[in-house]
Amino acid sequence: MTSQPTQGGVTEAAVLATLSQVQEPELHKDLVTLKMVRDLQISGGEVRFTIMLTTPACPLRGRIEQEARAAVAALPGVTKVTIDFAADVSRRLGSTGEPLIPGVRNVVAIASGKGGVGKSTVAVNLAVALAQAGARVGILDADIHGPNVPLMLGATRQPIKGPNEKLLPPVRYGLRVMSIAFFMTPDTPAIWRGPMVHSAIQQFLRDVEWGELDYLIIDLPPGTGDAALTVAQLLPSARAVIVTTPQDVALLDAGRALAMFRRLNVPVLGLIENMSYFHCPHCGQRTDIFGHGGGAAAAEEQGLKFLGAIALDPAVRVGSDSGRPITIADPESPTAASFREVASQVAAAISVANAIEEAPVIIS
């Protein structure tokens, strides 16, 4: 880039100087220091540049655009500001990487302390929402004894072997999908002990051609058993998200899941409260069926980020049973919007965590 004045008197140096005053709200550093300003072009009084986000699901994109536009527009001689957006999802640093899945930038395990809180539904809709935002996403159903992800996605095509003998995961709604359900009949139970569960998950990580992914979502079985231990051992860079409902018994078990991840040194990004409330479609009245505010209070007590609340919506159940998640079946619905917002919060939490790990340690 040059900093010579253009015909309108605007220079690249002046534009970059003013953009260095605009902060990325989550990372608390300016756009220039973070190298988020790309492809700066000036023609007379017209300025155009690209802001490179750390995730396509950035929840504060609108705020960044507004502040950057206002800053540049205030420069003398500027008559028009055009801002394009792109995204480059960062990868977690500070580890030796993921030897089993080298193309995957971030691994997120969706967990719960107990069954019945809608964890798989949340995992599926979060994955879809991230893919709809433009991310490259895969989802691994790690619940060997009760695999439901293919049903919820309507994924029926079996994996096939690729040229390198690795399995090619079926693609559904933009997601690469893998589950033990593809290799079992519906009435066949997986009566497996812990070592077999470990081996199956290891194969799904090692022997599947996941390709280049921004996020691999792993739907763990409920509780604190073998699958969670396996993921923690095989994927040292994984992070976790805990799903709960507002009721006390679910929150108690969510606390046990949190304690497990902390003991295994798996960072927990935050907590999602599912089935948070019910809006009557006839009278519009809100009913807190399982209580109110328990998830947010538990997150605060444990020093976790509260990633958001999802309503109890019959359409979610219908979508899951029919293989069309609500983020696909009714993307304009309030519930789908809630899933997109929670997905944005998860993506933002990953970006912040990656940035913290990347920051150099200054020894005085």
> Tens of pLDDT along 76-127?
999 999 999 999 998 765 454 455 688 899 999 999 988 889 999 999 999 9
Q: Which of 273, 257, 351, 267 is nearest to 307 (CA)?
A: 273
Domains by residue range for the chain, with CATH: 12-87 (3.30.300.130), 107-358 (3.40.50.300)
Residue 100's pLDDT is 64
pLDDT of residue 362: 43
Specify the 3-state DSSP secondary structure of 162.
Answer: coil
What pLDDT, on a 0 to 100 scale, did the predictor assign at position 337?
96
Tell me how far apart the alpha carbons of residues 269 and 347 are, in angstroms, rounded to a whole number: 10
Percent of the chain with pLDDT strictly greater than 70: 93
For residue 8, the model assigns a pLDDT of 52
Residue with tokens 């919060």: 345
Contact, 277 vs 296, CB < 8 A?
A: no
| pLDDT for the residue numbered 2 | 43
| Residue 3: per-residue pLDDT | 44
List pLDDT tens digits, range 276-288.
Answer: 988 777 787 888 8
Predicted confidence (pLDDT) per residue in 182-196, tens digit: 998 777 777 777 789
Position 361 pLDDT exceeds 70:
no
Q: How far apart are CA 220 and CA 229, in angstroms?
A: 10
**Both tokens of residue 170?**
């079926």
| 131-181 confidence digits (pLDDT tens) | 999 999 999 999 998 899 999 999 999 899 988 889 999 999 999 999 999
Please report the pLDDT score of residue 7 as a whole number.
47
- Supply the pLDDT for residue 99: 53
pLDDT-based confidence at 351, cuts 50/70/90? very high
First to last CA, the chain: 35
